[in-house]
Amino acid sequence: MAIKFPEGFLWGGATAANQFEGAYNEDGKGLSIQDIMPHGIKAPLTDEPTEDNMKLIGIDFYHRYKEDIKLFAEMGFKTFRLSIAWSRIFPNGDDKEPNEKGLQFYDNVFDELAKYGIEPLVTMSHYEPPLNLVLKYNGWYNRKLVGFFETFVKTICERYKNKVKYWLTFNEVDSMIRHPYTTGGLIEDRFPGIKWNQVIFQAMHHQFVASALATKICHEIISDSMVGCMLTKLTYYPYSCKPEDVLQAQQDMRGTYCYSDTQVFGEYPAYLLAKFKNEGVEIVKEPGDDEVMKKYPVDFVSFSYYMSSCSAASREGLDTAVGNTVTAVKNPYLPSSEWGWQIDPIGLRISMVDLYDRYRKPLFIVENGLGAKDVVLPDGTIDDQYRIDYFDCHFKEMLNAIEIDGVECLGYTSWGCIDIVSESTKQMSKRYGFIYVDADDYGKGTYKRIPKKSFYWYKKVIETNGACLFED
């Protein structure tokens, strides 16, 4: 019997509106926080959108969605993860009525996906609150954003109830602690006299309540819908077997799990409550918050996985490595990408087992991939064997988790299935896609789409449901 993935496994790819749509000011769209951060998470903000912000253009999916979806269909995608830009639907976030042209755009996209039998997987909020909600309300610190988000969710669920079954509430909800502006629209100097961690965790509480309400709304409007949380799966190994290093790894893992724990179990874990107490954080709640969170937990757990890291009680004398929004102790046993991210396929299996054992809910891997500098050869092809090698070993470990470890996994969407503007560095040259987009870091190029070698390889993987991975 051929070795392959379970029947109905949802193979596909993942994107985010702010990284590939472009058309930042067309058809009534309002500004999002991304429109004034041209050079990455840690770079200064601008007062207005500037030409050096690659995200204003993205890869022009807004005008090229039919062409791109046709290519996804050619690969055989079963699902496609995308996000809805909140400011395309409610330009200011607090508008009384939605923007019809924005709603129609996503109607068109979902209809195009349906034409090819591709199931949408939609993130409600992916790193781009409307800018007005930051300037007028101080972002997710303000309780009013829960209500604004409810309105947004009701609008999109009602509009797309016959087109979208799978939903995610907040992308990498845990990232609020690492980049609070991108996730929560929080700017530190707007909170004089308030402890910064108090601001962050209060905003986090509002997102937890909003996520539970979104789950409630989704289930009420779309009877067969499934709503997931989405976390950054940071996997930490103790650097040594010294008890101090093991303890540090455990503490670091808690720093990842506390956010998904809250969304899955519907209440704050004891260790997070202890952290609040020890750090003098007092979460302001409204009556009914705890009950809502408890009553409407998520249906499945989705996550991003790119790399693992090591934890040590002391980093003195140890090398460090960058990764997905973190810098941690470098693992001497692992290779690294061009951007220093360590490559650890077994870490994906470990992550899946840990999550499934912890939550006993279906998993969905919604981000994984390799950022690399691709070169167009003189004959017009792109030989990205390094990307194929990366996916090959990750897919095999993914199947090990399913078949050997008994993990239930709904599907897999590779990050940046078509080249998009990277989130951390705002570059085009850091490419993840199976499809090359002819644009450089300055927005110069034809924006022509060119399938890479990995395009045809992934097509075969999907066509055989992974069986080709085990052929000689």
| SS3 track for 336-376 | ECCCCCECCHHHHHHHHHHHHHHHCCCEEEEECCCCECCCC
Residue 455 to residue 391: CA distance in whole angstroms: 12
Report residue 1's pLDDT band, with 50, 70 and 90 as the boundaries: low
Mean pLDDT, rounded, for 388-404: 98
pLDDT in tens, 443-464: 999 999 999 999 999 999 999 9
Neighbours of 62 (CB within 10 A): 21
Closest CA to 222 of 266, 130, 158: 158
Report CA-CA distances (Å) from 305 to 38, 366, 367, 415.
25, 8, 6, 10
Question: What does pTM read for this prediction?
Answer: 0.97
pLDDT in tens, 269-323: 999 999 999 999 999 999 999 999 999 999 999 999 999 999 999 999 898 888 7
Report residue 472's pLDDT band, with 50, 70 and 90 as the boundaries: confident
The upper half-sphere exposure of residue 213, i.e. CA atoms within 13 Å in the direction of its Cβ, equals: 19
Averaged confidence pLDDT in the chain: 96
Dihedral sign for Cα atoms in the order 370, 376, 381, 385: negative
Longest Cα separation, the chain: 66
pLDDT in tens, 79-90: 999 999 999 999
Catalytic residue among 172, 244, 282, 291: 172
Count the residues in the chain. Answer: 472
| Residues 116 and 66: beta-carbon distance below 8 Å | no
- 107 has which bridge partners? none
Mean pLDDT, rounded, for 196-221: 98
For the domain spanning 10-470, the CATH number is 3.20.20.80
Which strand ranges, in their side-by-side order, compose the sheet holding 327-329? 235-238, 308-311, 327-329, 320-322
**In this model, does residue 230 exceed pLDDT 90?**
yes
Q: Quick check: is 172 catalytic?
A: yes
How much of the chain is in helix, strand and coil states, percent to nearest 5? 40, 15, 40
How large a percentage of the chain has pLDDT more than 90? 92
Mean pLDDT, rounded, for 36-54: 91
pLDDT in tens, 160-203: 999 999 999 999 999 999 999 999 999 999 999 999 999 999 99
Catalytic residue among 21, 367, 397, 423: 367
Please spell the DSSP secondary structure of 10-73, one letter per residue: EEEEE--HHHHT--TTSTTPPPBGGGG-TT-TTSPP-SS--TT-GGGTTT-HHHHHHHHHHHHH
Mean pLDDT, rounded, for 219-225: 97
| Residues 392 and 345: beta-carbon distance below 8 Å | no
> Residue 6 is encoded by which pair of tokens?
């379970």
Give the list of residues 6+ apart from residue 276 with CB closer than 8 angstroms, or none. Answer: 201, 268, 282, 283
**In this model, does residue 421 exceed pLDDT 80?**
yes
Q: Quick check: is 463 catalytic?
A: no
Phi, psi (deg, nearest 5) at residue 49: -60, 140
Q: How far apart are the first and last CA of the chain?
A: 15
Give the list of residues 6+ apart from residue 379 with CB closer than 8 angstroms, or none. Answer: none
Report residue 328's pLDDT band, with 50, 70 and 90 as the boundaries: confident
Mean pLDDT, rounded, for 416-439: 94
The upper half-sphere exposure of residue 431, i.e. CA atoms within 13 Å in the direction of its Cβ, equals: 25
